[in-house]
A and B are shown apart, each in its own frame.
Chain A
Amino acid sequence: MSGAYSLSDYPIIENRPEDIVTPGGVRIEDITFENIERGAVSVYDCRTSKEGLLAQAAIAELTGDRYIAGSLKRAAEMVDIDGDKIIEIYNALRPYRSSEEDLTGLAFELRTKYGAEENARFIEEATAALKHRRKLRGNR
């Protein structure tokens, strides 16, 4: 991502496509049937990119929307997290599923393994809230 965005950069796909590199390392304009048939582009390249999400977060922030910006930043951290892992953490955050240690462990994993600082903090805050309202495992 090449730094500052302005609102006129939106839509990014039109105005700043060079900023986006797909998870497979190709550029958006290279996603063509020709390249797919040649095997140069795969489904992996059609996944949402971290750069794209961060660019959108920056755009949202420019409009003063810290809410959208926040979730997009958390989403950007999740690009590299497996779908199964996301579902696992989701389940862990449901009521009466996890102990405090389980959740602390997940936050640690997010922070160290995935560099997902925003998400790690989010889990820690959830832990405190669930503990306070007795929604941890065994509290029922």
Chain B
Amino acid sequence: MDVTKRYISLSKRKVNRDPITEPWPEIGLVLENAPEDPLPSIRVKDGVIIEMDGKRREDFDLIDRFIADYGIDKSGCERAMALPSADIAKRLVDVNVTRDEIVGLTVGLTPAKLMRVVCELNIVEIMMAQMKMRARRSIGNQAHVTNLKDNPVLMSMDAAEAALRGFTELETTGVVGRIAPLNAIALLVGGQAGRPGVLTQCSMEEAYELQLGIQGLTTFAETLSVYGTEGVFTDGDDTPWSKAFLSAGYLSRGIKTRFSSGTGSEVMMGAAEGKSMLYLEARCLWIIKASGIQGTQNGSLDGIAITSTLPGGLKTVASENLIASMLGLEVASGNDTYFTESDMRRTAKFVPTLFAGTDLITSGYSATPNSDNVFAGSNVDTEHYDDWYMIQRDFSVDGGIVPVKEEDVVRVRRRAGKAMQALFEELHFAPIGDEEIEAAVFAYSGEDIIDRNIRNDIRCAELVLTEGITGLDIACALNRRGFAFEGESILALLKHRVAADYLQTSAFVDSNLNVKSIINDRNDYRGPGTAYRPDEERIKKLNDNARLKTFRNILEDANACGPDGEDIDIREIGDAERGKRKDEVVIAVSPSFGSHQKKTLGDIPHLRVLDEVIAGIEEEGLRARCVKCYESSDLGVIASIGAKLSGSGIGVGIQSKGTSEIQQKDFSPLFNLELFSQAPLLDREAYRKIGGSAARYAKGETPEPLPARIDPSVHPLLIKSSVLHYFDTQRIVRRKKPVEFTYVEKGAKE
């Protein structure tokens, strides 16, 4: 078949490397409404659910039974289930129906019904519903902090930087499982150095993770996975009861706990039983709710590489987050797994959750380059910070993190490293050298650091367990060694454990070390103008950007001389007369040209602009005369003035910013012979050609128009162009006639 160049180009786009599939219900590769999905139903008798989603109680599997006995609200379920799905869906987007009313209704809905309700919604409606249903009023975000070398120095610094940027929670793990206690300590210490109160986690096998929590080295856990079919649950060597029991054990040790689930996991485990992903996820979420666990990290997670291949996949992912919120759960909404090579898809993936706002917008923004992300890479990493900030700025949304100054990043990274150094000394761990700290402060990734002897670090990590080194030991050691700030924060977190305030739904610890959760920070969205809106102080932080300096410097920049200090000295001769010579071309410039502005948007000194245009004219055997216009800065007007003063009837108009045109005296100012509109693209050669063309017009020739150059990438300079034009306009002098001038290079010998 013939191929077009456009198709060849399209085929090379990164998005075309992303795998895509079609539904295949037999293996569970189906988003929703699979042929095997049950019809929603409920029957209650004597306070016991005797039928749910088409199954009689005696046929219940473990999951059905768990949900029916501990989950579904038996007093309200028959009334709730009788409502048409579309009716419930409409209430979800109705600002007059409160979040709490919806939660009250949702706990009466079976998994099959829940799936049908959210399937009624399109993506914008899902976002509206999510905005209302999020548990907490304020939003948060979570970071992954890992490195391939399990280097505790670098890890503590990356934790500090992430905390400084505003992440609510930090999560690590270990490449080598045995080093996990050290990683947990790096996150604990580094995190507090960056921002007091940040919660930390070390993702490990369940019993191991519990031990780290018991020792006060971590504050939260979220790796308790649940699945939607009994088969996968059993393969995972768990039952709903074992998971629920263990999670209550976590709570008893003051560990904030959330479960993990997500569409696609049953497909990966090969036992989806022909059911749809969303139906199975609704079951997972019900298991979590029935366990009495406050939240979930869902939104496909690892399964995203499967869910995202199907049409509607990313919408389904957003709707699984919504189901969790409808059940009243805290949601850490995914966006934490690499699934596409396309930056546009990567962005589109997080937009619904970022714009709607969830309790934790990502359940793992990679606070290291993805090359160091031990969770196999996140959807967004350190490379995307500035993009993320810009999107927050563009849409006035709070994505949980704010721009920070590089000097502050350096400060907290070094502080984290020094705290670790002191702590390791106190604990008699393998020492951390000053040069290690300095290398890691400025490192891009683990590639740039000084390697440690990992066997020594592993031995120290094992000591943490065998000697039972606790968070309190760490707090005391830091306090003794002059890191009172970090010591106090860790102590405050331990005190919070005693009172357990952060075990309530969607809790976090703020910078003042106070707990916020659904109890004192409940989402109260009631339509426009209600619920969470960033306040003035927060908006200022969200909008800040180091590059604003450039904007503020525009005029100063324009006033500066050319790159080689080439400045112009304009000498006015007197009122410009109408020329009589047919061999002249008049160059007309705008009011601030060469006097208050010195170079073009393309960085060409005004001195050289005139030099080149004149040279171009003279090469054609004609002469040039320079005129400054004071009555207007408009290119059409000044070019026409030049043309009318010109003996040949041809003029060249040049604005201070460099935009130019060739004009003929009989044309209206809005028409012209040739216009050169993208000033940033005009180099010295272009100005010379403009002069040459103008001269040829003056000789009565019809030169071929100069080749058009269009480069969309200069469009962002429009703002600079507008500002420069504004300053040009400020120099207008009403009723002042055009003045003829000559010029020399300033400082040059005459």
Interface residues of A (CB under 8 A from B): 7, 10-14, 17, 20, 22, 28, 31-33, 36-37, 42-43, 45-49, 52-53, 55-56, 59-60, 63-65, 67-72, 74-79, 81, 83, 86-87, 89-91, 93-95, 119, 122-123, 125-126, 129-130, 132-133, 135
Q: Are the CB atoms of A11 and B248 closer together than 8 Å? A: no
Q: Could you tell me the dominant secondary structure of chain B's interface residues? A: helix
Q: Are the CB atoms of B498 and A28 closer together than 8 Å? A: yes
Q: How far apart sit A126 and B491, CA to CA, in the bound complex (Å)?
A: 38
Query: Shortest distance in angstroms between B676's beta carbon and chain A's nearest beta carbon?
Result: 66
B contact residues, total (Cβ < 8 Å):
67
Q: How far apart sit A96 and B176, CA to CA, in the bound complex (Å)?
A: 30
Which of B71, B100, B210, B472 neighbours the largest number of chain A CB atoms within 10 Å of its CB?
B472
Q: Are the CB atoms of B519 and A49 closer together than 8 Å? A: no
Judge whether B499 is part of the interface by a CB distance below 8 angstroms. Answer: yes
Asked if A43 meets B470 with Cβ closer than 8 Å, knowing A33-B479, A79-B252, A93-B241, the reply is yes
Q: Which residue of A lies closest to B58 (CB)?
A: A132
Among A22, A59, A133, point to the contact of B504 (Cβ < 8 A).
A59
Q: Are the CB atoms of B249 and A86 closer together than 8 Å? A: yes
Q: Chain A residues with Cβ under 8 A from B69's Cβ?
A: 125
6 contacts across the A-B interface (CB closer than 8 A): A11-B515, A31-B498, A47-B498, A71-B292, A86-B252, A89-B245
Among A46, A52, A93, point to the contact of B242 (Cβ < 8 A).
A93
Q: How far apart sit A130 and B234, CA to CA, in the bound complex (Å)?
A: 11
Interface string of B494-525 (1 = CB under 8 A from A): 11111111011100000000110111100000
Q: How far apart sit A71 and B494, CA to CA, in the bound complex (Å)?
A: 21
Query: Shortest distance in angstroms between B610's beta carbon and chain A's nearest beta carbon?
Result: 71
Q: Chain B residues with Cβ under 8 A from A53's Cβ?
A: 251-252, 500, 503
Judge whether B681 is part of the interface by a CB distance below 8 angstroms. Answer: no
Q: Are the CB atoms of B496 and A13 closer together than 8 Å? A: yes
Judge whether B253 is part of the interface by a CB distance below 8 angstroms. Answer: yes
Q: How far apart sit A28 and B499, CA to CA, in the bound complex (Å)?
A: 8
Q: Are the CB atoms of A43 and B472 closer together than 8 Å? A: yes
Q: How far apart sit A89 and B239, CA to CA, in the bound complex (Å)?
A: 12
Which of A10, A11, A55 neighbours the largest number of chain B CB atoms within 10 Å of its CB?
A11
Q: How far apart sit A43 and B498, CA to CA, in the bound complex (Å)?
A: 11
Q: Chain B residues with Cβ under 8 A from A125's Cβ?
A: 69, 241
Asked if A47 meets B514 with Cβ closer than 8 Å, knowing A7-B519, A122-B241, A126-B241, the reply is no
Q: Are the CB atoms of A46 and B501 closer together than 8 Å? A: no
Q: Chain B residues with Cβ under 8 A from A22's Cβ?
A: 498
Q: Are the CB atoms of A95 and B514 closer together than 8 Å? A: no
Q: Are the CB atoms of B239 and A130 closer together than 8 Å? A: yes
Judge whether B207 is part of the interface by a CB distance below 8 angstroms. Answer: yes
Q: Which residue of B lies closest to A41 (CB)?
A: B472
Residues 44-84 (chain B) with a chain A CB within 8 angstroms: 60-62, 65-66, 69-71
Q: Which residue of B lies closest to A76 (CB)?
A: B252
Q: How far apart sit A7 and B238, CA to CA, in the bound complex (Å)?
A: 36
Q: How far apart sit A122 and B69, CA to CA, in the bound complex (Å)?
A: 11
Interface string of B244-262 (1 = CB under 8 A from A): 1111110111100000000
Query: Shortest distance in angstroms between B705's beta carbon and chain A's nearest beta carbon?
Result: 73
Q: How far apart sit A20 and B495, CA to CA, in the bound complex (Å)?
A: 11
Q: Are the CB atoms of A95 and B505 closer together than 8 Å? A: no
Q: Are the CB atoms of A95 and B238 closer together than 8 Å? A: yes
Q: Are the CB atoms of A68 and B504 closer together than 8 Å? A: yes
Q: Chain B residues with Cβ under 8 A from A130's Cβ?
A: 62, 239, 241
Interface string of B197-236 (1 = CB under 8 A from A): 0000000001100110010100000000000001001100
Q: How far apart sit A111 and B475, CA to CA, in the bound complex (Å)?
A: 37
Q: Which residue of A lies closest to B484 (CB)?
A: A33
Q: Chain A residues with Cβ under 8 A from B498's Cβ?
A: 13, 20, 22, 28, 31, 45-49, 52
Q: How far apart sit A120 and B226, CA to CA, in the bound complex (Å)?
A: 23
Q: Chain A residues with Cβ under 8 A from B472's Cβ?
A: 36, 42-43, 46
Which of A32, A56, A87, A132 neighbours the largest number of chain B CB atoms within 10 Å of its CB?
A56
Asked if A56 meets B503 with Cβ closer than 8 Å, knowing A37-B476, A74-B248, the reply is yes
Q: Chain B residues with Cβ under 8 A from A13's Cβ?
A: 495-496, 498-499, 501, 515
Q: Are the CB atoms of B216 and A129 closer together than 8 Å? A: no
Q: Chain B residues with Cβ under 8 A from A90's Cβ?
A: 206-207, 242, 245-246, 249
Q: How far apart sit A44 and B61, CA to CA, in the bound complex (Å)?
A: 42
Q: Which residue of B lies closest to A77 (CB)?
A: B252
Q: Are the CB atoms of B216 and A46 closer together than 8 Å? A: yes
Judge whether B487 is part of the interface by a CB distance below 8 angstroms. Answer: yes
Q: Are the CB atoms of B500 and A65 closer together than 8 Å? A: no
Q: Are the CB atoms of A129 and B241 closer together than 8 Å? A: yes
3 nearest CB pairs, A to B: A71-B292, A48-B254, A93-B242
Judge whether B291 is part of the interface by a CB distance below 8 angstroms. Answer: yes
Query: Shortest distance in angstroms between A41's beta carbon and chain B's nearest beta carbon?
Result: 9
Among A31, A45, A48, point to the contact of B253 (Cβ < 8 A).
A48
Query: Shortest distance in angstroms between B357's beta carbon and chain A's nearest beta carbon?
Result: 21
Q: How far apart sit A14 and B498, CA to CA, in the bound complex (Å)?
A: 12
Q: Chain A residues with Cβ under 8 A from B66's Cβ?
A: 129
Judge whether B104 is part of the interface by a CB distance below 8 angstroms. Answer: yes
Q: Chain A residues with Cβ under 8 A from B479's Cβ?
A: 33
Q: Chain B residues with Cβ under 8 A from A20's Cβ?
A: 498-499
Q: Are the CB atoms of B242 and A49 closer together than 8 Å? A: no
Query: Shortest distance in angstroms between A43's beta carbon and chain B's nearest beta carbon?
Result: 5
Asked if A43 meets B210 with Cβ closer than 8 Å, knowing A28-B498, A72-B292, the reply is no
Q: Chain A residues with Cβ under 8 A from B495's Cβ?
A: 13, 28, 31, 46
Other 5 A-B pairs with CB < 8 A, given A31-B498, A87-B207:
A46-B495, A46-B497, A67-B328, A126-B245, A133-B62
Query: Shortest distance in angstroms between B323's beta carbon and chain A's nearest beta carbon?
Result: 15
Q: Chain A residues with Cβ under 8 A from B471's Cβ?
A: 46
Q: Chain A residues with Cβ under 8 A from B451's Cβ?
A: none
Q: How far apart sit A132 and B58, CA to CA, in the bound complex (Å)?
A: 9
Among A49, A68, A123, point to the contact of B499 (Cβ < 8 A).
A49
Q: How far apart sit A76 and B498, CA to CA, in the bound complex (Å)?
A: 12
Q: How far apart sit A60 and B251, CA to CA, in the bound complex (Å)?
A: 14
Q: Chain A residues with Cβ under 8 A from B519's Cβ?
A: 7, 10-11, 59, 63
Q: How far apart sit A81 and B210, CA to CA, in the bound complex (Å)?
A: 14
Asked if A71 meets B242 with Cβ closer than 8 Å, knowing A33-B479, A78-B248, the reply is no
